[in-house]
Amino acid sequence: MRKLLCLGLFLLTTTLSAAEKPNILFIAIDDQNDWIGCLGGHPLAKTPNIDKIGKAGTIFLNAHCQSPLCNPSRTSLMTGKRPSTTGVYGLAPWFRQVPQWKDVTSLPQHLKANGYHTYSTGKIYHGGYGRRKTDNEFETLGPAAGVGARPKEKLVKTPAPHPLVDWGVFPHEDKDKQDYVVASWAVDQIEKGPKDPFFLSVGFFLPHVPCYTTQKWYDMYPDDDSVLPPVKFDDRKDTPRFSWYLHWKLPEPRLQFLQEANEWHNLCRSYLACTSFVDHQIGRIMTALDAKGLRDNTIIVLWSDHGWHIGEKEITGKNTLWDDGTRVPLIFAGPGITAGGKVTSPAELLDIYPTLNELCGLSPVEGLEGHSLVPQLKDQNAMRKWPAITTHNRGNHGIRTENYRYIHYADGSEELYDLENDPKEWNNVAAEPGYAKIIAEHRKWLPKIDVDPVPGSAHRILTLKNGQVNWEGKDVAPTDPIPEID
């Protein structure tokens, strides 16, 4: 009898009825690095609304993406599988086009199967993935992601002309921006009263380039060196040549261009301004949630798909395995989550799927490669044995523990950063004998499954076969000059 009673209590605590399940507000920000007030990535960052969510919940101060690129990162988060497992490394293909993964159960599909009504607007998957009539990711779709108002001509002439690689201020209003439209749709759904329980995913495009901003947000940040990140100007002297191959030739310019064109201040101000603008849109959604009385039964998850360099390591953009490319905001708030928590142990975006599964008392899912963060959501000091692992194309992996970053490239070259003594990752100590044991411990975490790119892979694909480096379909010789550097 006692055993039966215990079993009954277990089932009651792990399986919730539809009426008991918490709602989920799922907020994604594109290309958002740690320039967020509560993350401390930039001393001038003004993000009061995100900071409030962090204060009401738990912030993961050492959270990292699975890939420093939109499509593989979002594919990993939504399927619960690593890029090294799926073989999705580039901006194409959509994982549903890969025979092995076309029927994998994504997070929104799993929630729907467990009684959730799924809503989505903006950018959740990369581009238009998941939004076609033949897709079955969400029940109700709002406006797609986009830039919104644009100037008649590009504001900045970058070395590699690309319509999206631009930034700056020009005459337009906040309501002209697509992120405003996306937030407005989310507010409307909340005010109408979404079906209970709901999963409302809202994906913001900014601060992804083009970082176009209205004047009021731009003027929040000064036009002086205080907006610039700390940079070591010879920072790549101790990094292997292979590190350049991960971002060999891209539309995003190098730091050298920003300096020569006097655009570094402008880009930093524009990025910070767009971050504050998005924060304001998040504030509009939170105000609607509170006004409707939904806050107490809604889990809020706020995340970004990867980081973004603005001069660090001599580059701009993503596509790196350093903290500037991998560290992301990750915040949980709501029922069952400790307020004011700040977790310094490593976490991964891959952990979101199993964490929501546990918080919502849903049926188990096989094959998830992340680990629930519920212990840390209850106690910020709870032990966690797993590092955060980021992959960018086969064989290139970053292993982030609490005090170290280890990077292993496909050609066997390595980097190690002692983050207690070198938080900016300026000194690669991989060759120093005193760190041999630390490197050996981190090597053990390299993914055991590390597959080739799936058929149809394109856009930022790097391969190494029989000693030959190939970037975007073109072979690269060991003596080739580094684009825009040599």
Q: What is the CATH number of the domain that holds 295?
A: 3.40.720.10
Is position 64 annotated as part of the catalytic site? no
Between CA 306 and CA 133 the distance in angstroms is: 28
486 in a domain, yes or no? Answer: no
Q: What's the total number of domains in the chain? A: 1
Residue 98 lies in a domain: yes
Q: Tokens 């892979």 sit at which residue?
A: 457
Contact 327, 367 (CB under 8 A): no
How many CB atoms neighbour CB 118 within 10 A?
A: 22
Q: Is 392 part of the annotated catalytic residue set? A: no
- CB 308 within 8 Å of CB 268: no
Average pLDDT over residues 405-416: 98
180: in domain: yes
The pLDDT value given to residue 126? 97
Tell me the average pLDDT of the chain.
95
Within a domain: 185? yes
> Which ranges of 232-373 would DSSP assign to H, the alpha helix?
242-245, 255-260, 264-291, 323-326, 352-359
Q: Is residue 466 part of a domain?
A: no
Q: What is the pLDDT of residues 55-66, one digit of tens each?
A: 999 999 999 999
- What pLDDT is recorded for position 18? 62
Instruction: Read off the pLDDT of residues 31-42 as tens digits, 9 standing for 90 and up.
Output: 999 999 999 999
Q: How far is the C-alpha of 55 from the C-alpha of 337, rounded, in Å?
A: 11
Residue 20, pLDDT score: 84
Q: Residues 324, 312: contact at Cβ < 8 Å?
A: yes
pLDDT of residue 15: 56
Both tokens of 443, joined, read 């090597």
What is the SS3 assignment for 116?
coil
In the chain, how long is the greatest CA-to-CA distance? 78
Q: What is the pLDDT of residue 295?
A: 96
Which residue among 38, 42, 65, 70 is the active-site one? 70
Residue type, 434: G
With beta carbons less than 8 A apart as the criterion, state whether 334 and 57 touch: yes
Residue of 64, 126, 247, 280 with catalytic role? 126
Of residues 16 and 329, more confidently modeled: 329
In the predicted structure, residue 16 carries a pLDDT above the cut 70: no
Kindly list the distances between the CA atom of residue 290 and the CA atoms of 24, 285, 293, 298, in Å, as whole numbers in the listed order. 14, 9, 5, 10
Closest CA to 281 of 355, 349, 207: 207
**Residue 311 belongs to domain spanning:** 19-388
Is the residue at 278 inside a domain?
yes
Which residues are CB-neighbours of 86 under 8 A, at least 6 positions away? 72, 75, 76, 79, 95, 98, 101, 451, 454
**CB neighbour burial string for 74-113, b if at least 16 within 10 angstroms, e if fewer:** bbbbbbbbbbbbbbbbbbbbbbbebeebeebbbbbbbbbe
pLDDT at 17: 63
Report the percentage of the chain scoring pLDDT > 90: 94
Weakest-pLDDT range from 190-194, 443-447, 461-465: 190-194
Residue 271 has pLDDT above 90, yes or no: yes
